[in-house]
Amino acid sequence: MRRVVIVGGVAGGMSSATRLRRLDPDASIIVLERSSYVSYANCGLPYHIGGVISKKQDLLLQSAESLNMRFNLDVRILSEVTDIDVQAKKVTVEDLRNSRKYLLQYDQLILSPGAQPVVPPIPGIERALTLRTVEDVSVIVKAVEEGPKRAVVIGGGFIGIETAENLRHRGIRTSVVEALDQVLSPLDAEMAMLVANEMTQHGVKLYLGQSVTGIYDGWVELSSGDTIQADMVILAIGVKPDVSLAKMAGLEVGSRGGISTNSCNQTSDPNIYAIGDAAEKVDALDGSASLVPLANIANRQGRIVADHILGRDVRWVPTIGTAIVKVFDLTVATTGWNEKRLLAAGRNYLPIHTHPNSHAVYYPGAESMAIKILIDPQTGLIMGAQAVGRAGVDKRIDVIATAIRAGFRAEDLADLELAYAPPFGSAKDPINMLGYIAENLTSGFSKTVQWDDLQSRVDQGAVLIDVRTGAEYLQGHIPNSLNLPLDELRRRMADIPGKEVIIYCQVGIRGHTAVSLLRGYGYDAANLDGGYQTWVNSPANNTADSYV
């Protein structure tokens, strides 16, 4: 009888355990979980803090007893593996309820220990609460129920933002301190500013480009010397792979600090597998090691390991890092690489910004969104995308993520036959429009200028023309721009003081029409990518909110 020991439950561990049982009704499958809960929805933890998910029980998917009854799994909670003997193929287990230790033999060992919160060595850090497990959220909920007036969340990533939102749901004055100069580092700056605006509008105070240097009774100190009053502090800087057992067993740890694995998730010991947040992944864009702590990847890896152990063919699947988060009334999603990462890697890329509506504009309830896609200008392949909006974001980012996985070129997006009816989309879906724009740019029919390159181009002599109406221009415009409305442009070309021109409108559509017209008459014309709406929400606009 095959003996499989799994260290850690939740997404990866339980996926491998249940898949193993479906494939082999007789195998001995033992799951060792050091916490009190083996199967729970950890992505839902912040929403229990805010009362959106009112009952903790709703987060608990299965218990040790239910897993035993349904799958005949030997699930042992409050059981921590303290040592691995790779030669004898045994693990040492400590029962945390009575400190008793015992040995377990295995044929295959699956490591799914997850990740640990990053805890910086600053004075008073022991006063901060972390959010990683059901036990953690119980402590935070208890603290919230004691009625704190002010909270500080350290970290402006996905968990930090979700936690801040849910603290605001509880009526707590909340501040977020983030060492970077923006929230949500997977986003590029102009997209992150949309998120920051949403947070400040809902009463969250942002301290960007600063770090916490000390946590004290009733207040925290920042690197700037400023102080913030705080009745509670929650630490959400991020996580790091838990590789303590792997190191103890002499397994190879990769360049990103996670357990190194092959395409079947085997470690440097072929009888030991590693999955989930503790294991390094392979990036789909360049094949480099990557750390992507996402539940769907952990689930997929659990299935792959079970199949491989039982001799089934498995598919190697690199990651593109698709993620989504709710920020008050916004949906924020990303997939693939962002512009910062492409720049750091020296990769050539072409950004495209659009601001489409979630469905047909004439049908009630249409909401504007911002989509940014990054493509390889030579091959047309999609390298990454980001989207922010109130409706329709998840649908579009999922299509783009699928296109990346399929190896589509950006112009192929124009050919996708997507479901359309006025309440759900447009005859030319935002995805199709991205394809049309990419085709125009890569073919040389049109060209664009980015928000962060605009000022240097104007300084070098380019004429900046606003083709919106006079009323729109008066409501707000880019400094030193000339207002020539699109419908007057053909008869007023003599008013353009030069042949090199940069056109902008509100979102880029009228600008494209103007560029096509002027290029036909010999002008060196380019369209401001994403139009005024992208520029006004970017760092290029020095009147944009600076927060704190």
Residues 254-295: tens digit of each pLDDT: 999 999 999 999 999 999 999 999 999 999 988 998 888 888
Q: Which CATH number fits domain 448-536: 3.40.250.10, 3.30.2130.30, 3.30.70.260, 3.40.190.10?
A: 3.40.250.10
Over residues 339-350, mean pLDDT: 96
Q: Which residue has the tokens 């864009």?
A: 285
Q: Cβ distance 194 to 543 under 8 Å?
A: no
CA-to-CA dists, residue 414 to 138, 309, 428, 431, 531, angstroms: 48, 42, 8, 7, 21
Rounded CA separation 470/483 (Å): 7
Q: What is the mean pLDDT of the chain?
A: 94
Any alpha helices (H) in 87-147, and if so which ranges? 134-145
Q: Which residues pair with 85 in a beta bridge?
A: 90
Listed in sequence order, the residues at least 6 apart from 139 whose beta carbon sits closer than 8 Å to its beta carbon are: 129
Over residues 220-225, mean pLDDT: 96
What is the model's pLDDT at position 505? 97
Q: Cβ distance 114 to 38 under 8 Å?
A: no
Residue 505 catalytic? yes
The pLDDT > 90 percentage for the chain reads 85
pLDDT at 543 over 80: no
Residue 96 is given by DSSP the state T
In tens, the pLDDT along 129-168 reads 999 888 889 999 999 999 999 999 999 999 999 999 999 9
In tens, the pLDDT along 84-123 reads 999 999 999 999 999 999 999 999 999 999 999 899 999 9
DSSP helix/strand/coil, 236: coil
So what's the architecture of 329-442 in CATH? Answer: 3-Layer(bba) Sandwich (3.50)
What is the model's pLDDT at position 491? 94
Domain residue ranges in the chain: 3-115+240-309, 125-237, 329-442, 448-536
| Catalytic member of 505, 518, 526, 536 | 505
Same fold flag, 3-115+240-309 and 448-536: no
CA-to-CA dists, residue 275 to 12, 83, 114, 212, 306, angstroms: 6, 18, 8, 33, 11
Neighbours of 202 (CB within 10 A): 16
pLDDT at 547 over 90: no
Question: Maximum CA pair distance of the chain?
Answer: 89
Residue 375 is given by DSSP the state E
Confidence of residue 545 (pLDDT cuts 50, 70, 90): low
What is the model's pLDDT at position 485? 97
In tens, the pLDDT along 25-71 reads 999 999 999 988 888 777 888 888 998 888 878 877 888 788 889 98
In tens, the pLDDT along 441-484 reads 999 999 999 999 999 999 999 999 999 999 999 999 999 999 99
pLDDT at 82 over 70: yes
pLDDT at 522 over 70: yes
The domain made up of 125-237 has a fold known as: FAD/NAD(P)-binding domain (3.50.50)
Minimal CA–CA distance to 18: which of 292, 265, 305, 280?
305
CA-to-CA dists, residue 156 to 166, 183, 195, 207, angstroms: 14, 5, 11, 9
CA-to-CA dists, residue 109 to 81, 122, 201, angstroms: 12, 37, 49
Q: Cβ distance 176 to 150 under 8 Å?
A: no
pLDDT at 548 over 80: no
The domain made up of 3-115+240-309 has a fold known as: FAD/NAD(P)-binding domain (3.50.50)
